[in-house]
Amino acid sequence: MRRPPSNSTQTIARRYRRLVADAGLRVVGLADPRRAGQAQWLARLTATPQAAQDLARALAKREDTSWVRLASGGTEISAIIQTTPGDGNALLLHDISRTTGITAVSAHYLLHMYRGGPTAWRAHLKALTPAQQHQLIFDEMQGGTASVGTPDQRLLAVLGQDGRAGFAELAVATGWSAATVAKRLGELRASGAIYFDVDLDPALFGVTTGALLWMSVVPAHLDRVGKALAEHDELAFVAATTGRTNLAAHALSPDPDSLHHYLTHRLAAFPEITSLESAPVLRTIKSAAPFTPSTQRPDRPRVS
């Protein structure tokens, strides 16, 4: 029997299953919060060690959170929280403030995201040739006016668990025909209302050290610095925020020495950055995707 080519569908499927099992790979389809009418907050919580662990897990199970991380010796939690008009910011103003063991809370409104969300970490793309990267652009660049509505929630519920779900599965979940699903999905992708993200262990890229960075930048230069930092391979997330600091980032490095070099050389080259605070990331409890027990792996530390 003739051996199938190395890039056959069967080979790709086997490789994908292995990455799912060994590297925590997960492909998900998510709504762009801005187009879904949601506001995003970057929360910083300080708590006692045991309370921090319990709170991080509780936050990870909520539908309105993403990127829940333990930092600074396990006593600090950072999380991105989505809020919608009319919900009273319940999680920010009520639930968290009444939780036992929390010693400090700060919430930073995400004003603009330079890197993160629909804009993937650059190191992911470096494994591909320019031609392969171009193939991933799809139709988002064509623009469009479609936005996420109530009927799309059943579609997103499935894609949020498995971005590789086929039209037939999505049709069953939505009650639409497969043709209607394909058309609607194309409209939402073309307008940028939804995007596909990949949860993957950064260790596959040689990353062992991560840190959250909180920077103060001269306001007149904030946009320029934010755009420049978004082009750094070392940063998986860069966003302008409200608060005492106005630029937040997530740095990923091969080792502590590399992180030190990045902070003291590349970032030091920006005189507009007047102060910098760093907090080492010990574990990522939840990434971009919604929580599911089958994908939660608390016994395996991750830096992104």
> What pLDDT was estimated at residue 89?
63
The CA–CA distances, whole Å, from 233 to 37, 102, 159 equal 30, 34, 28
> What count of other Cβ atoms lies within 10 Å of the Cβ of residue 10?
9
Residue written as token pair 């396990």: 74
> Can you give the pLDDT of all 304 residues of the chain as single tens digits?
344 445 677 888 888 888 888 777 888 898 888 877 788 999 999 999 889 999 999 999 988 899 999 998 889 999 999 887 666 566 666 677 778 888 888 999 999 999 988 777 777 667 677 787 777 665 444 667 888 888 898 999 999 888 989 999 999 999 999 999 999 999 998 888 898 888 777 777 788 899 999 999 999 999 999 999 999 999 999 999 999 999 999 999 999 999 999 999 999 999 999 999 999 999 999 988 766 544 444 333 344 3
Give long-range contacts, CB 8 A cutoff, 24+ apart: 264-273.
Answer: 266/232, 266/234, 267/213, 267/215, 270/217, 270/225, 270/228, 270/229, 272/217, 272/218, 272/221, 272/222, 272/224, 272/225, 273/215, 273/216, 273/217, 273/225, 273/247
Query: In angstroms, rounded to a whole number, what is the distance separating the alpha carbons of residues 22 and 146?
Result: 37
Candidates 281, 125, 303, 292; CA nearest to 198 is 125
- Asked if 285 contacts 298 with a C-beta cutoff of 8 angstroms, the reply is yes
Q: What is the pTM of this model?
A: 0.81
> What pLDDT was estimated at residue 1?
39
SS3 state at 195: strand
106, HSE (Cβ side, Cα atoms, 13 Å): 12
Query: In angstroms, rounded to a whole number, what is the distance separating the alpha carbons of residues 103 and 178?
Result: 51
Backbone angles phi, psi at 126, to 5 degrees: -65, -15
Structure tokens at 12: 């790709």
- Asked if 213 contacts 278 with a C-beta cutoff of 8 angstroms, the reply is yes
Longest dimension (CA), the chain: 67
Structure tokens at 66: 């993403």
Query: In angstroms, rounded to a whole number, what is the distance separating the alpha carbons of residues 296 and 56?
Result: 12
> What pLDDT was estimated at residue 301?
35
